[in-house]
Amino acid sequence: MHDTTLLLIEVGALLLVMSLAGRLAARIGMSPIPFYLVIGLAFGEGGIVPLDASAEFLEAGSEIGVILLLALLGLEYTANELFDSLKSTRAAGLLDALLNAVPGALVALMLGWGPLAAVALAGVTWVSSSGVVAMLLRDLGRLSNRETPAILGVLVIEDLAMAFYLPVLSALAVGATFLQGAVGVGIAVGVVCIILFVALRHGHLVSRLFPADQYEPLLLGVLGLTMLVAGLAAQVNVSSAVGAFLVGIALSGRVAANASRVLTPLRDLFAATFFVFFGITSDSSELWPMVLPAALLAVVTIATKAVTGAFAARRAGVGTLGQWRAGFTLAPRGEFSIVIAGIAVASGAAPGLAPLATAYVLITIIAGTFLARVPDAAWFRAIVRRRADRVAAAARS
């Protein structure tokens, strides 16, 4: 059978299965993300029916999915709102790095994997998944919630920190000199600063490049600019997600509103592809030995991430329920964690790091998807309300 024909059959069948899974998720009132991950595992290596012909197509689609998720998040905010959020979450960013990176490093050292693996696993447990969090905010209708800017502030700080972290890790992995690592970090930071400057000072000029009321040129232009900036950012070891997010920030007015409208269907398609592809690239047969250590690590770092999110939301003046929503929404780890593990394993670090990271990411995504809904449950609201009443009564007495 011709490769293109087989690709069409595989992708068509996969989309149909995903459609049924999404319908089932909507019927039982939960996010489709865990269903997409399970579908990916079923069709991946070690699964029921591996998909070979469509692997490259799905990989490209998954990358586009993350880019579109972050670009559309950026369209919801202005550059000034972003900077205000970053200012208010600086302390949360430092707390985030301390609470969430240290457990990963300690586990790697306890397993005897050495310093390089410790640096890598620290990154795996540190950074939340921008793609998963963005999809959760969208699915749960929280884009306009008061805690959302605090969540985005933490995500952006983490992604910007990766501009420092990834070149350093890559240099350590290949045994590069300090000077080579410093040059890589300098280039990455310079690119981020340029994008931030353009977004803040000249965003209105960027918006003028696109016709707000001509949907086809608008779609092609905004998508093209987003992918171009994301690709250039990735080329210098800056997160492509950061580049896409800042493009969204730079656009404003009717251009931003209409761009969001025309890009939404593409985002929905490719974002779902991202989660399926993540499952496909995970060898289910290698995951089982690492499930227990990954689960223990997930329990600890979901708790520490909840502290981070609650702290960021509290500093932004958000109430108790919003603090819980922020903390639980940040629980999932994802694309960066897998990239980091891949860099370390490719350099000859502990081979067990890859399956541990994969199992850990899957557990945090599935758990985070459920936990993000908990603060909206009636029973949880009742508990929070009773606790607030007790605190108020104690204060009066």
CATH number at residue 215: 1.20.1530.20
Q: Which parts of the chain have pLDDT scores under 70?
A: 1-2, 29-30, 46-47, 79, 81-82, 85, 163, 173-182, 184-185, 188, 237-239, 335, 346, 397
Angle between helices 115-126 and 90-110 (to 10 degrees): 140
Answer yes or no: is 5 within a domain.
no
- 10 Å CB burial of residue 288 (0-12, 13-18, 19+) is exposed
* Tally of domains in the chain: 1
Give the Cα separation of 278 and 240 in Å (integer).
17
Mark residue 317 as left, alpha or beta (left: phi above 0; alpha: psi -120 to 50; beta: remaining).
left
Residue 295 belongs to a domain: yes
Positive or negative, the Cα torsion across 332, 334, 336, 339? positive
Question: Is 372 within 8 Å of 331 (Cβ atoms)?
Answer: yes
| DSSP letter assigned to residue 282 | S
- Rounded Cα distance between 224 and 350, Å, is 39
Task: Write down how long the chain is.
Answer: 397
Residue 395 lies in a domain: no
Q: Establish if 53 belongs to a structural domain.
A: no
Q: Which two tokens stand for residue 55?
A: 């692997």
Q: Is residue 210 part of a domain?
A: yes
Residues 6+ apart with CB under 8 A from 287: 355, 358, 359, 362
Task: Provide the H-helix boundaries in 29-129.
Answer: 33-43, 55-75, 79-88, 90-110, 115-126
Q: Is 45 a domain residue?
A: no
- pLDDT of 263: 92
Residues in CB range of 382: below 8 A, 6 or more apart: none
Cβ count near 292 (within 10 Å)? 10
Structure tokens at 71: 């670009």
Say how far apart CA 325 and CA 145 lie, in whole Å: 10
- What is the reported pLDDT for 298? 96
Confidence (pLDDT) at 322? 93
Taking the alpha carbons at both ends of the chain, their separation in whole angstroms is 79
Tokens of 287: 């995951």
Read off the pLDDT of residues 150-209 as tens digits, 9 standing for 90 and up.
898 898 888 777 767 877 777 776 665 556 666 766 776 777 777 777 777 777 778 888
Q: Is 243 helix (H, G, I), strand (E, B) or coil?
A: helix
What pLDDT is attached to residue 188?
67
Axis-axis angle for helices 353-371, 130-139 (nearest 10) = 20
Tens digit of pLDDT for each residue in 223-271? Answer: 999 999 888 877 776 667 777 877 887 887 888 889 989 998 998 888 8
CA distance linking residue 154 with residue 137, whole number of Å:
14
If you search the block for the tokens 């200012």, which residue do you land on? Answer: 87
Domain contains 273: no
Domain assignment of residue 1, yes or no: no
pLDDT of the residue at 2: 64
Domain membership of residue 328 as a residue range? 78-264+284-387
